[in-house]
Amino acid sequence: MSDQTRTFTLRISASRLKKGFIAIPQKFANWFPQQRGKIQVAFDDEEKRRALTFHPHDPAGKENRIFGTKQWFSRRAVVDGDVISITLEDADRHMYRVALDRFVREKEEQQSRQKLQAAPTDSEARREFDALSRLTQKRPRRLAREELLRIAEQSVSEKRLRVSSGASARHEAVPAGIRILLRELHEGKCQLCSFTFEKRNGEPYFEIHHLDPALGHHPSNLLVICPNCHAQFEHAKVTNLERVGIWLVAVTINGKRVTVRQPLAHDSMKKVLLAIILATLSAQLGRMLVR
């Protein structure tokens, strides 16, 4: 409980879910009316309030109860064990806010992801990435893998824009958010030879190569690469690009076969195999039920 915000949390039980009410522990009874009646409740981030029935503690029930929450339980897919927060917003007018912690956290994560993708500089993207890591409680490298896969699955390859600079034109740079994700995933090391070096600011040096310069910044079109390997991609004879799904895993440079370190390919294949296994099991179960 927080004295400043006057918020407390509680865990929802299966029996309360089934009956469609929230049970309030007796130690918070003084936050609520002492008589049975209506209270004004806003759910999650909604502005609209609803008049719900409050039953104070009595010897038979042994708990305070807020009735009329069954629809919210269903809409938010609340399950046994979910944590909710209850905030007293206006004691005189009996106004409260009930929020599903999981929903609030997911919304905060979504907003953090949007800020990461929109970050104009590497330093701002780094700050947003660290904030997202704290919210999700995931280690940076794991988070980078998951975010790059999510971006790859939810976006499509688009033409890479060209930007004018005086009399010349050049391709648009990789967005800062994607640069930070790639840096974390590969630790700034070249995906071909694993070389990097530490810059004066302590960060690893790396460059990003677009496999197809005309296409956009889809993760499958990007490689973290050292200056030497980058120059080979730009000027040597590059053939036989081998892919697993959409991810490059090997390439031939001037007749020499080179493996591309590509952890995202393995993650993608795991998802595909899991989907196949689940589909097979579902089909087998369906046949068994028909019999």
Residue 158 has pLDDT above 80, yes or no: no
Tell me the one-letter amino acid at 198. Answer: E
Residue 1 has pLDDT above 80, yes or no: no
Residue 273 has pLDDT above 50, yes or no: no
* pLDDT the model gives residue 275: 46
Q: How far apart are CA 254 and CA 238, in angstroms?
A: 6
Q: What is the pLDDT of residues 112-154, one digit of tens each?
A: 999 999 999 999 999 999 999 999 999 999 999 999 999 998 8
Q: How far apart are CA 51 and CA 271, in angstroms?
A: 45
* CATH, range 7-100: 2.40.330.10
User: Mean pLDDT over residues 106-112, rounded?
Assistant: 95
Q: What is the pLDDT of residues 30-79, one digit of tens each?
A: 899 989 999 999 999 999 999 999 999 766 667 899 999 999 999 999 99
Neighbouring C-alpha atoms within 13 Å toward the C-beta of 289: 6
Identify whether the C-beta of residue 89 lies closer than 8 Å to the C-beta of residue 97. yes
CA distances from 81 to 44, 78, 84, 101, 187 (A): 18, 9, 10, 11, 38
Q: What is the pLDDT of residues 226-244, one digit of tens each?
A: 999 999 999 999 999 999 8
* pLDDT the model gives residue 5: 60
Q: Which of 90-94, 151-155, 198-202, 264-268 has the weakest average pLDDT?
A: 264-268
Domain spans of the chain, in order of start: 7-100, 119-155+171-269
Phi, psi at 39, each rounded to 5° = -125, 155
Under DSSP, the state recorded for 160 is P
* pLDDT the model gives residue 215: 81
What mean pLDDT is reported for the chain?
87
Residue 185 has pLDDT above 50, yes or no: yes
Residue 284 has pLDDT above 90, yes or no: no
pLDDT band (50, 70, 90) for residue 245: confident
Residue 157 has pLDDT above 90, yes or no: no
* pLDDT the model gives residue 2: 45
pLDDT band (50, 70, 90) for residue 170: low
- Determine the 3-state secondary structure of 94 from DSSP: coil
